[in-house]
Amino acid sequence: MKARRHFYSEKLAEGKAILAPMAGFTDAPFRKLCRDFGSSWAVTEMVSAKGMVLGDLKGIEIGEPYPNEPDLVIQVFGGEPELVAAGGAKLYELYRPSALDLNMGCPVKKITGKSCGSKLMQDPDRAAAIVRALSEAVPIPVSAKMRLGYDEMNVLEVAKAVEEAGASVIAVHGRTAAQKYSGEANWEAIKTVADSLKIPVIGSGDVSTRAQFERYRSWGLGVMVARAALGQPWFFAELLGKASPSQEEKAKIAYQHALLHLNWYEAISPEREKHLMMQFRGQLLRYFAFLPDAKPSLIKIASLADLQTFLLEWFALDVTGMTSNDLKRQSLNSF
């Protein structure tokens, strides 16, 4: 019997939005912030099943869970049923997640070129075989996140095959892989999928307002948030009716994120701190998008002290007393 086999239905009943997996963004610090602001759960960035089987830990770095991460859902990708099942089993052994999610939506060539990600939309039988093998390999629910199709829409055929194979939930991004992120997400198509399946369906794509969130929820859909949460993890609280933070509060949250980032990725030397802060500049630009004139200052930030100076100059905020050691990575030496 599956452990907490009703995980997805229980969480969806809470009526909160879900943080979608995003390559390069949904690491432990960002997931923690989004959970703190009310995300129902947060899906990790995709982890290679093959990498897990071969013992290549490089691929787990951004998808790695933080200790005691609640309602952990790890997304896995792969193109062969046996390999995905073995990789999923290893992830379960290491982290005991609440559920595993199969990536069937990534449109990036380095993924689709390996017959993974959205390429699975062209082969419903193979997608179903992967979901079936993964479901049999772990004692937890398995879901799948897909697109409307690869180059043309066939989501209903694929979704039914995956449902029959044992998926507990299906998430649908309202574009084909060929569209990538252009045009508008087709939520009417997502609703058609939901009306045709017995299992819950979660929609994803272009959710940026509370009105959209409430509309899609009224259709009986779960709602995933992706790009709208970047640089504003408080968006999940706003969707639940909370007031938007002030600019000063946003600045403090950005600083908190920077602290979590440095702590998680272990800024153990000035050189390492510089590398990590330069890596974090993209996040800062998103946090302070409401200050376009600040961009020249932001792209020069190369240390925590630089960020402290920026906040003092632009917001009269003294954050030097703020600390964070909330996140510590687990040792995988025994892997």
- Residues near 69 by beta carbon (within 8 Å), at least 6 away in sequence: 28, 31, 32
Mean pLDDT of 187-197: 98
Per-residue pLDDT, averaged over 100-113, amounts to: 94
Contacts of 121 by beta carbon, 8 Å cutoff, 6+ apart: 104, 127, 146, 147, 149, 150, 154, 155, 158, 177
Instruction: Judge whether 116 counts as a catalytic residue.
Output: no
| C-beta atoms surrounding 185 within 10 Å | 21
CB 169, CB 8: distance < 8 Å: yes
Is a pLDDT exceeding 50 seen at residue 41?
yes
Task: Find the catalytic residue in 12, 73, 102, 106.
Answer: 106
* Segment 20-25 mean pLDDT: 93
CA 47, CA 73: separation in Å to the nearest integer? Answer: 11
Angle between helix axes 155-164 and 187-196 (nearest 10 degrees) is: 40
20, 224 Cβ separation under 8 angstroms: yes
- First-last CA distance in the chain: 27
Mean pLDDT for 272-280 is 97
pLDDT for the residue 280 = 97
% of the chain residues with pLDDT over 70: 95
What pLDDT, on a 0 to 100 scale, did the predictor assign at position 124?
97
Is the pLDDT assigned to residue 334 strictly greater than 60? no
Distances (CA, A) of 108 to 178, 180, 257: 10, 9, 27
pLDDT at 4 > cutoff 90:
no
Query: Structure tokens of 169?
Result: 């939930």
Residue of higher predicted confidence among 23 and 134: 134
Higher pLDDT, 286 or 182: 286
Average pLDDT score over the chain: 94
Mean pLDDT of 203-215: 97
The amino acid occupying position 11 is K
Q: How confident is the model at residue 7 (pLDDT cuts 50, 70, 90)?
A: very high
Give every CB contact of residue 72 below 8 A, 6+ residues apart in sequence: 41, 44, 65, 95, 96, 97, 98
pLDDT of residue 1: 38
Query: What angle (nearest 5°) sits at the alpha carbon of residue 127, between those of residues 20 and 56?
Result: 65
Residue 125 has pLDDT above 50, yes or no: yes
Report the distance separating Cα 324 and Cα 15, nearest Å: 30
Q: Give the pLDDT of residue 331.
A: 54
85 pLDDT more than 60: yes
For residues 14-41, give the mean pLDDT.
96
Question: What per-residue confidence (pLDDT) applies to 75?
Answer: 96
Q: Could you identify the residue written with the tokens 């990538």? A: 180
Alpha carbon 218 to its chain's center: 23
**Nearest-CA neighbor of 315 among 244, 232, 246, 248?**
248
Lowest mean pLDDT among 59-68, 251-260, 308-317: 59-68
Summarize the confidence of residues 310-330 as an average pLDDT: 88
214 pLDDT above the threshold of 60: yes
> Is the model's pLDDT at 107 over the cut of 50?
yes
328 pLDDT above the threshold of 90:
no
127: Cβ contacts below 8 Å, ≥ 6 apart? 102, 104, 120, 121, 144, 146, 158, 161, 162, 165
Strand spans (E) along 138-209: 142-147, 169-173, 201-204
Statement: residue 333 has pLDDT above 50: no
Inform me whether the pLDDT recorded for 292 exceeds 90. yes
